[in-house]
Structure 1
């Protein structure tokens, strides 16, 4: 999702260019290499919608408690399906998209036949898994194939509040920010009495365990879909 900008080369005239001893060139390379290694060792990186940076196993809402009208907490890292193949990797690494759609499917239908593993298989069959990521078409064409209606929403608090108050869960594709360093899908499940939004993040029980300022979340959204049965 991110775009790399390559800076133009800087040229100097041959008359003014100085030759640098080889030993200094090698030392410079070693310094840069050490800096890169240190950065990777201290930075949690995610890449692409659907890929996760959190590898701590989380336990989802038990299947026996899945019912219409209640959004379950479903996590990519749940051992029940974490290692299930998806998008060239696993649900744990790539499966936030189908995991979110599985949560929406449960709350709107009350059915338990499409857990994250089954939803991942559905997405694969439909061609919605692309290069380690989940295509946005899963949230429109894919949802329609499941008997769900979806509508793209503007990233405005009024539109989202209206959808949630009408009982329509919302899936957001988010960019770098509180939930990812590259791209991710989350579910907005409802509103608190204080007007904050209830987030079900398929990659974090911690982020799912608190309420969020709606405008803060919307500021990180690339697209949103409201769902109904």
Structure 2
């Protein structure tokens, strides 16, 4: 049976109107959400482009800025006997680095041997650039825990911890201290004596007469001097088998070197190990040479004397 109800019909019209309004509102919301998503994605794209090209821009900007290469990456050639004029030319060619420019502008403030060493070894630039302040404020050298834990730590004679400290005839460890630096490496490597720094060994050598004026560090530092630090020492022939056998027995070798890859006159290096590629050594003057493996054939003609050093207590 059908009955007519005007109030009910009125309510239905209101419901339909409300549903229509809701649909319109949902449509508007959907449009706004889509617009916001598109806008956000549009804003993100330029950022992605910046990230993509930032390394290229950075490289282009850095290309015009002189950057000191990390010392271990610098290739160092065999030393040359530069004249004073050649040293000046060499340093002048590097004045794009403001540290060289500063040095060239004040060359009278630096010892000539130090400038010649810098011309031969660019690893020294930081030390030479800071030389004046280091000389005015010398300090007692120290050894890090990391160095104490190494089999044979590399002590560079021009390290800022001790390089400016006096050693020899109006000289310093940076220029003349290869002997004390080499022995310090051996003492620390074999006995872990943290007081055996290159500056301590340099002072010891001067007080005990192991430095000869006009010549340099005496060979007796590697025997009598080493004994005072608890090491035994003996001389062996320049023989590959003997060298390897003594390394196998836990000894380190200190070699006095003649003219060649390491020096123009005289120098001390430490050999502490070997493998199939050659001998592993520490050159107190050069990081680059210390990171190379050296064959016996390459070394034998340059070696003047070899000492085997061992810990007496081992």
Q: For residue 119 of structure 1, what is the aligned residue in structure 2?
A: 201
Matched, 1:209 2:298: no
Moved more, 142-151 or 89-98: 142-151
Deviations 1:50-84 (A, max 9, x none): x996471589x962113367100110111000101
TM-aligned CA distance change 1:103 to 1:135, over 3 Å: same
Larger relative CO (CA 8 A, sep 6+): 1 or 2? 1
When Rg is computed on C-alpha atoms for both structures, the one with the higher figure is 2
Conserved? CA contact 2:143–2:194, under 8 Å? no
TM-score normalised by length of structure 1: 0.74
Counterpart position of 2:157: 76
1:164-188 deviations in Å (ceiling 9; x for gaps): 1111110000000010111100000
- What is the distance in 1 between the residues matched to 2:212 and 2:303? 20
List runs of 5+ in structure 1 lacking aligned partners: 1-35
Give yes or no for contact 1:66–1:111 (8 Å, CA) kept in 2: no
Higher helix share: 2
Cα displacement (A) at 1:120: 0.5
Q: TM-score normalized by structure 2?
A: 0.55
- Report if the CA contact (8 A) 2:143-2:197 is conserved: no
Residue aligned with 1:170, SS: strand
Q: Distance in 1 between matches of 2:236 and 2:242?
A: 7
C-alpha separation between the residues in 2 aligned to 1:214 and 1:68? 28
More strand by share: 1
Q: Distance between the aligned counterparts of 2:192 and 2:280, measured in 1?
A: 20
Per the alignment, residue 144 of structure 2 pairs with: 63
Q: Could you tell me whether the CA contact under 8 Å between 1:148 and 1:227 is conserved in 2?
A: yes
Contact 2:269 2:282 in 1 (8 A): yes
Structure 1 segments of 4 or more deviating over 4 A? 36-43
Residue of 183, 187, 195 corresponding to 1:101? 183
CA-to-aligned-CA distance 1:112-152 (integer Å, 9 cap, x gap): 10100001011111101112510000001111111110010
Which digits, 9 at most, give the CA deviation of each residue in 1:4-25, with x for residues without a partner?
A: xxxxxxxxxxxxxxxxxxxxxx
RMSD: 2.9
Contact 1:66 1:112 in 2 (8 A): no
From 242, 261, 284, the counterpart of 1:178:
261
Count of residues in Structure 1 that have an aligned counterpart in Structure 2: 189
